[in-house]
Amino acid sequence: MKIIIIGGGFAGLKLARSLNNKQGIDVLLLDKHNYHQFQPLFYQVATASLEASNISFPLRKVFQRSKNIRFRLAEVKEVVAAANKIITDIGEFSYDYLVIATGAGTNFFGSEQLQQACYPMKSTQEALQLRNHLLKNFENALLQTDALLRQQFLNIVVVGGGPTGVEVSGALAEMRNHVLPKDYPELDFSLMNIYLIEGSPRTLAAMSEASSHQSKHYLEKLGVKVTLDVHVTSYDGKQVVLSNGNEIKARTVIWAAGIKGNVPEGIDKSLIVRGNRIKVNRYNVVEGTDNIYALGDVSYMETPLYPNGHPQVANVAINQAKNLGINLLLIQQGHQQLKEFEYKDKGSMATVGKNLAVVDIPKPKFHFGGLFAWVVWMSIHLFLLVGVKNRLQVFINWIFKYFTKDTNLRLIITSVNKKESIVPIAK
């Protein structure tokens, strides 16, 4: 059984691991990066709390002792379902079964202007780019003699009040309150404003009302200016225009307002639904095919418990991968009866800052926040990280930051314009 997995995120990595060293199965894992990225902590890289290496793990190292899993650094250009092959930037590969686990990217809802001017945070590179931009802005603020222009460099607007927006807003507020005044004693950081703009009536709209109310209270306690029921209509790199007519002068806008699936070319357009997700059945088989699967954020599955599709979170991706791994082994063994997927929600959580977090548990229905919720959030994220060394490094960084309210990672890394290319397969 020749299986190709596109994407080394939560779903792709979990599936590959579940098929590791299984006899009769040959797995080719493709990704445009040679490492797994732990997306829930991108915001800590962007705010200089963690190094990128702390939340990344080389995919080749994961499978150093594997006998049946190979990795190729490649970007998929097209899926040719009729020929059971994919076309990549390094050549063509054939398959018996194809698994699309390409995740999701930032959704700018068709606005080219916002895409060009705002900073997304859906990859390690983007998180590092944002960190460099933030730190350069503080350096530029030092050079300004005009007070209004100086404040433009200090102001930060975060668009989107979901977990990413809430978490990065809280991290930036703690950075402003405890770290930046010591780094830049010449600047008055009481003039620095952090705005969180959310288009719905509450933050963390996917969580309970208690969590929404508590997260907003925590953010305002840290000094974040939260604006609800308002959308960003335009941003030119200097001025944000809101749907209520208000304007905000800022040189930094962080876009966390939505995601869309990364669907490769070649997938039938009629199968792509809202959010740029691929329609699949209860076994994660792409509708209209019998040997192509989609997992995680890029897949859309309707079930009795989730008639509008599953939430695009890591736990769904991981559990879909587990289920598909079982089914592929059953198929290899000749079984006809496969296991349908249904997501069992064990809860959701978000952190705002030190000792400030919210947790919802569905069964029994229960909400809690504060210090205990923050400890639960830390523990689960440490457990989900790949690699013992990464867990240890992140834990040490968190403990250091907890007691010192500081980190030593505020480095501006200047990129070098020199490209190293992969040589395609010779034809």
* Full residue range of the structural domain in which residue 171 is found: 112-257+354-404
Residue 281 shares a structural domain with residue 358? no
Residue 120 shares a structural domain with residue 85? no
The encoded tokens of residue 173 equal: 């507020």
Global pTM reads 0.92
pLDDT of 427 strictly over 50: no
pLDDT of 364 strictly over 90: no
Q: What is the pLDDT of residues 84-109, one digit of tens each?
A: 999 999 999 999 999 999 999 999 99
Domain CATH number, residue 284: 3.50.50.60
Number of domains in the chain: 2
Residue 230 shares a structural domain with residue 136? yes
Residue 84 shares a structural domain with residue 208? no
Residue 242 shares a structural domain with residue 384? yes
- So what's the pLDDT on residue 422? 53
Has residue 399 been placed in a domain?
A: yes
DSSP one-letter code for 40 = G
The encoded tokens of residue 406 equal: 């500081």
Residue 138 shares a structural domain with residue 244? yes
Has residue 234 been placed in a domain?
A: yes
pLDDT of 283 strictly over 80: yes
Q: What is the pLDDT of residues 176-215, one digit of tens each?
A: 999 999 999 999 999 999 999 999 999 999 999 999 999 9
Q: What is the mean pLDDT of residues 332-352?
A: 92
Distance CA 330, CA 370 (A): 45
Distance CA 144, CA 89 (A): 46
Residue 248 shares a structural domain with residue 326? no
Q: What is the pLDDT of residues 148-164, one digit of tens each?
A: 999 999 999 999 999 99
Final residue before a domain boundary, out of 300, 332, 364? 332
Q: What is the pLDDT of residues 116-129, one digit of tens each?
A: 999 999 999 999 99
Q: What is the pLDDT of residues 229-255, one digit of tens each?
A: 999 999 999 999 999 999 999 999 999
Q: Which residues, including other chains, have CB under 8 Å from residue 397's CB and lie 6 or more apart? A: 49, 50, 54, 407
Q: What is the pLDDT of residues 392-405, one digit of tens each?
A: 999 999 999 999 98
Distance CA 23, CA 396 (A): 40
**What percent of the chain lies above the pLDDT cut of 70?**
97
Distance CA 381, CA 394 (A): 10
